[in-house]
Amino acid sequence: MKQYLIDGLRLTDYQKLKAYLDKYLESSPLGGIYWLELDRELLTPIQKSHEGCHPHVLALILEETYLSCEFLVRIKKNIKCDCMDYATREQRDWIIDQADAIIEKLGICI
């Protein structure tokens, strides 16, 4: 899986991130996985045309020592669809910027 990994988290960093993600993002029934909705302006033509698959999301996986941001654009309604794909360069840059902004906002030094 292609991903952006922020590791070396301390317990206090993990606790700050968990509280933030619990408050602002939808979580998966599996613990530690959160869904970040991709900005609609960044959707590819096929993703835009699949109205029934919206929203398109990216998975953020939080463990005690790391935050992983997957580069696979997913849908929550089905397991597989043609609109699911690895992030484009623009989508990938967006998720990295989002993760970095959260880390900065929370004052976490990596």
pLDDT in tens, 9-29: 999 999 999 999 999 999 988
Q: How many CA atoms lie within 13 A of 88 on its CB side?
A: 12
How far apart (Å, rounded) are the C-alpha atoms in residues 87 and 15?
28
Residue 30 confidence (pLDDT) above 90:
no
Pairing of strands 85-86, 72-75: antiparallel
Owner of token pair 């990596």: 110
* Residue 41 pLDDT grade (very low, low, confident, very high; cuts 50, 70, 90): very high
pLDDT in tens, 45-59: 999 999 999 999 999
| CA dist list (Å): 12 to 5, 83, 98 | 18, 37, 20
Please report, for the chain, the start and end positions of each structural domain, with discontinuous segments joined by +.
3-105
Give backbone dihedrals phi and psi of 63, rounded to 5 degrees, phi first. Answer: -120, 170
How far apart (Å, rounded) are the C-alpha atoms in residues 73 and 19?
24
Tokens of 44: 């590819």
In Å, how far from its chain's centre is CA 54?
15
* Residue 42 pLDDT grade (very low, low, confident, very high; cuts 50, 70, 90): very high
